[in-house]
Amino acid sequence: MNEAVQTLEGWYALHDFRRINWSAFQAAPAEKRRQALTEWKNLLDEWALTESSRRGSTVLYSIVGQKADFVIFHLRETLQDLEKVELAFNRSLIAEFTEPTYSYVSIVELSSYMAKPGTDPMEDPDILARLKPILPKSAHLCFYPMNKRREGHDNWYMLSMDERRSMMRSHGMIGRSYAGKVKQIITGSVGLDDWEWGVTLFSDDPLQFKKLIYEMRFDEVSARYGDFGGFYVGNRLDAARLGDWLGVK
């Protein structure tokens, strides 16, 4: 049996993608629409308090294109905590006008491919900060799920640990070249969802998503062993912008 890489896990993650029934929302009485906006802003305030107490983190982004209208990305300490925030939104007034289009359940993950020999990663404050991160508030977000291929000679899981470590080191160097331009959160979902990993990228310049992902296409890890799901890209949606976005004054 091949050697499995050891992983470190942090906060649980939920990407909750929704579509709004704009016709129904715009046909609703003005007072009901204002109430829906107020409730949503109150939820944003609650999520901000959770973040300030270091018990999780949440960001909200509108989605460009027809796959969804918005995504709420939550990080929480437990799977039960994720269920609570999901239920809180489902019970809100705005949820009456939304329908789920996609969701992704996972957990923040770091692999030991890059671990320093002889050190305890859980005593490294930088590692702990990456496992329980405060999500960036960048202008733009890009999310996609992915698998490592398991077909014929292109079977990632049949490679030796040394082969996988060497390729991941090369792969990681490309990501490091975008430091300061793109921030990423990697979440693992083996046994939790249909894909193996979710990649969430944040940047103030959406063109950097294209440049980074295109460059990685030429790396062997992606070119030979990577399978990718749908891509979702969007713009930061905070409380100040939410009313205009909904068309509610």
Which residues form the domain of 219?
A: 7-246
Average pLDDT of every residue of the chain: 94
Looking at residue 6, its pLDDT comes to 83
Mean pLDDT for the stretch of residues 227-242: 97
Residue 114 has pLDDT above 60, yes or no: no
Q: Percentage of the chain with pLDDT > 70?
A: 96
Exposed/middle/buried for residue 122 (C-beta within 10 Å: 0-12, 13-18, 19+): exposed
Say what the pLDDT of residue 179 is: 94
188 occurs within a structural domain? yes
Domain assignment present for 220: yes
* Active site (catalytic) residues: 144
Within-domain flag for 177? yes
**Residue 233 pLDDT level (bands cut at 50, 70, 90):** very high
Instruction: Indicate the pTM of the whole model.
Output: 0.94
For the segment 3-60, what is each residue's pLDDT rounded down to a tens digit? 888 899 999 999 999 999 999 999 999 999 999 999 999 999 999 999 999 999 999 9
When divided into structural domains, the chain yields a total of 1
Q: Is residue 200 part of a domain?
A: yes
What string of H, E and C letters represents the secondary structure of the chain? CCCCCCEEEEEEEEEEEEEECHHHHHHCCHHHHHHHHHHHHHHHHHHHHHHHCCCEEEEEEEECCCCCCEEEEEEECCHHHHHHHHHHHHCCHHHHHEEEEEEEEEEEEEECCCCCCCCCHHHCHHHHHHHCCCCCCCCEEEEEEEEECEECCEEHHHCCHHHHHHHHHHHHHHHHCCCCCCEEEEEECCCCCCCCEEEEEEECCCHHHHHHHHHHHCCHHHHHHEEECCCEEEEECCHHHHHHHHCCC
Q: How far is CA 187 from the centre of its chain?
A: 7
- The answer to whether residue 174 scores a pLDDT higher than 60 is yes
Tell me, what CATH number does 12's domain have?
3.30.70.1030
- Answer whether residue 241 is part of any domain: yes
- Looking at the domain assignment, is residue 1 inside a domain? no
Residue 122 lies inside a defined structural domain of this protein? yes
**Do the domain assignments include residue 2?**
no
Mean pLDDT of 137-164: 94
pLDDT at 163 over 80: yes
